[in-house]
Structure 1
Amino acid sequence: MHAWEAIDQSVNYIESHISEELDTKQLAEQVYLSTFYFQRLFKRLVHKSVKEYIKLRRLAIAIDLLNNTDWKIIEIANHLGVSDHSNFTRMFKETYHLTPEEYREKRPRMNMIRRPNLALNYLLVDEKVPLIINGIVLEIEKRQLTEERYVGIEGMVSVDQQLPIGQQTGIDQPGELWQRFYQEKPLLKGIVDEVMEAGISFAASHSQTHFGYFVGGKELERAIVLPTGWVIKHVPSGYYLVCKIEAETKEMLVTNALNEAYRYLFDVWLPKHEIKVEAFSVERYQEIASIPTMELCLKIKNSRCGQ
């Protein structure tokens, strides 16, 4: 068994027994590792200590239960193995900066710690060869894209609260922009495509602590008068690395699948191929044959790369 497979086995066990008391020594013994080496290896691969990861996975599940059940807070706490209501509330607020009651009332989109796909770190696929893992399909290629224009809204996002992808907690600021876009999208009827939408990340001028994020629909025609507060964003023509992503549901596509695609591209694929990309990316969403699909497009710095 490879070292990463041992940790992956432990992560699976934690997920299946998240409501039970979980002991680090017992987890280490199950995969035949010393407690010391197990903890070091777990932190290296998961980027959280064992205890911290278990706590944050329980709180992520709590978010789901607060959204999708009418369970009382104490019932959710007990289900997740936390018998003390005040202790559960304290952990929740320390992590998400809201109490469970406040979260249930406001329902903001949140960044949560998700179960990592450790196998992705050790798989390297060629261009145009689909990679299928845990219900997610990734396919990567270099492609010349023509200019596109989108109409939507934009805001500034804190780097500390959003990066690295899938490893932070707190308000999902891009997700909040998406919610606002969908609430106000009827104002753009006849102005934007009903199907093609995009989220665009770009470098914020004179800031190293924030980046810009835009959400919008593909423009149908030019020379339009926009509603107040709406802007046009250009996606410049150029040579892009395009990662096509498919998932079973749109919710899975914009959370787990997108997180894993970003991590795989930046941690594995790009370094192995020695490709540099600009601080500009486009998440293009549509549905093909009832399958939620996204193209994550990263603008390549050297336009001659791969040609």
Structure 2
Amino acid sequence: MHAWESIQTTLELIEERLSEEISIDDLANAANLSPFYYQRLFKRLVNKTVMEYIKLRRLAKASEHLAEHKNRILDVALNFGFESHETFTRAFKKAYGLTPEEYRANPVKLNQFVKPELILNYIMVDEGVPLIVDDIVIEVTRRRLSNPRTFIGIEKEIPICQLMGGETTGIAIAKELWMKLGSQKHNIPNKIPGGNEFAALYMGSAKEGNCMYMAGIEVEPGTLVEGYSIFELPAKEYLVCGFEAENFNELVDSAVFKADKFMERWMKNHNLIATDFAIEMYYPTTPEVAYMEHWTIPVSIEQ
């Protein structure tokens, strides 16, 4: 067994026992490693200490219960391993910038620290070969766009760290932007029947450490709407990373970050970098699968 496989085994174990007591010794035994070496390896591969990671995953599950159930906040805290209401509130506020009471009163969208799939750091596949990893399927292909496509929507400046890797917590500005678009898209004319919803990430006028994020819908070329942003996807060849998950929430809450990290490593391995924008292309969700794509224009590092 590779070292990363030992750590992945304990990541699965942690996920199963978030409502139970979890000890370093038990996890180290499951990984067949000494507690000292286990903690060192975990920190190197997951970028968090074991106990920090457990706390963040407990907060993720606790926030789901706060939004979906009416249990007392103290009961939620105790059910997910927090010693008291005060301890839970302090950890919640530090992670998300608001208290559990404030979140329950106004359940905004949150970014969570995603459970990693470490295999994505070590396995490489060719173009057109699907990679099946636990709960997602990823495939890299090339696609030529013969004609430009036009999208209209709303944009906002967002910290780049919120969009990469699923390793930050806080209010999910991008998801809030999608909620806003959903309530306003009836104002946008000339929508293409069967067209895609999409998001564009680009620097634009964003300050250092941030980028512009636009959530939009596909419209007829030449459409302009006052008060809304426009993005024209140029006719070029794109590198497309398509990925699917069992449902839409899983797709946008974890699979999107896992595919992001895989694609970043895939491009580096193939001596490619992306141009100055990246695209998220959304497709209708069915009862069987939720699917989306990342589009980039690849440029050889050797050029």
- TM bin (shorter chain): over 0.9
Q: Which residue of structure 2 aligns with residue 121 of structure 1?
A: 121
Please state how far the C-alpha of 1:248 moved relative to its aligned partner.
Answer: 1.6
Aligned to 2:263: 265
The residue that corresponds to 1:250 in the other structure is 248
Q: What is the CA distance between 1:249 and its match in structure 2?
A: 1.2
1:30–1:158: structure 2 CA closer, same or farther, 3 Å change rule?
Answer: same
Within a 5 Å distance, the mapping from 1:1-307 to structure 2 comes to 1-146=1-146, 147-160=148-161, 162-188=162-188, 190-193=190-193, 195-205=195-205, 207-222=207-222, 224-226=223-225, 228-266=226-264, 268-287=265-284, 291-302=289-300
Deviation at 1:159, TM superposition (A): 2.3
Distance 2:301 2:13 in 1: 45
- CA separation of 1:113 and 1:279: change in aligned 2, threshold 3 A: same
Q: Deviations over 1:42-67 (max 9, x none)?
A: 01111111010000000000111112
User: 1:5: Cα distance to partner?
Assistant: 0.9
Cα deviation, 1:81-128, whole Å, max 9, x if unaligned, reads 213111111110011110011111222111101211111212111100
Higher mean alpha-carbon deviation, 18-27 vs 257-266, is at: 18-27
Cα pair 2:164 2:260 within 8 Å, conserved: no
CA distance in 2, matches of 1:286, 1:295: 8
Contact in 1 for aligned 2:153/2:181 (Cα 8 Å): yes
Change (3 A) 1:27 1:47: same
- CA drift of 1:144 comes to 2.2
Do the aligned residues in 2 keep the contact of 1:191 with 1:221 (CA within 8 Å)?
no
Instruction: Check the 8 A contact 2:195/2:219 in 1, yes or no.
Output: no
How many Å apart are 1:130 and its aligned residue? 0.9
CA pair 304-94 structure 1, distance change in 2 beyond 3 A: closer
Q: 1:218 to 1:304 in 2, by over 3 A?
A: farther
Distance 1:18 1:60 in 2: 10
Q: Which runs of 5+ in 1 are unaligned?
A: none
Distance 1:96 1:69, change over 3 A: same
Deviation at 1:179, TM superposition (A): 0.7
Partners of 1:182 and 1:261 lie apart in 2 by 25
> What value does the CA root-mean-square deviation take over the aligned residues?
2.0
SS in 2 for 1:258: helix
Tell whether the 8 Å contact from 1:281 to 1:298 is kept in structure 2 after alignment: yes
Deviation string 1:190-230 (CA, Å, 9 cap, x unpaired) is 435465100110123463221010011001342x451x421
- 1:16 to partner: Cα distance: 1.0
Structure 2 stretches lacking a partner, 5+ long: none
Q: Distance in 1 between matches of 2:183 and 2:285?
A: 24
- Secondary structure at 1:255's aligned position in 2? helix
Alpha-carbon distance in structure 1 between the residues aligned to 2:87 and 2:252: 31
Moved segments of 4+, more than 6 Å: none
CA offsets 1:5-27 (integer angstroms, 9 cap, x no match):
11011111111111122121331
Question: Partner of 1:237: helix, strand, or coil?
Answer: coil
Could you give the per-residue CA deviations for residues 252-291 of structure 1, whole angstroms, max 9, x where no partner exists? 111211111001111x311211111123111111127653
Q: Secondary structure at the match of 2:101?
A: helix
Change (3 A) 1:176 1:7: same
Measure, in 1, the Cα distance between the counterparts of 2:302 and 2:32.
49
Q: Distance in 1 between matches of 2:68 and 2:193?
A: 31
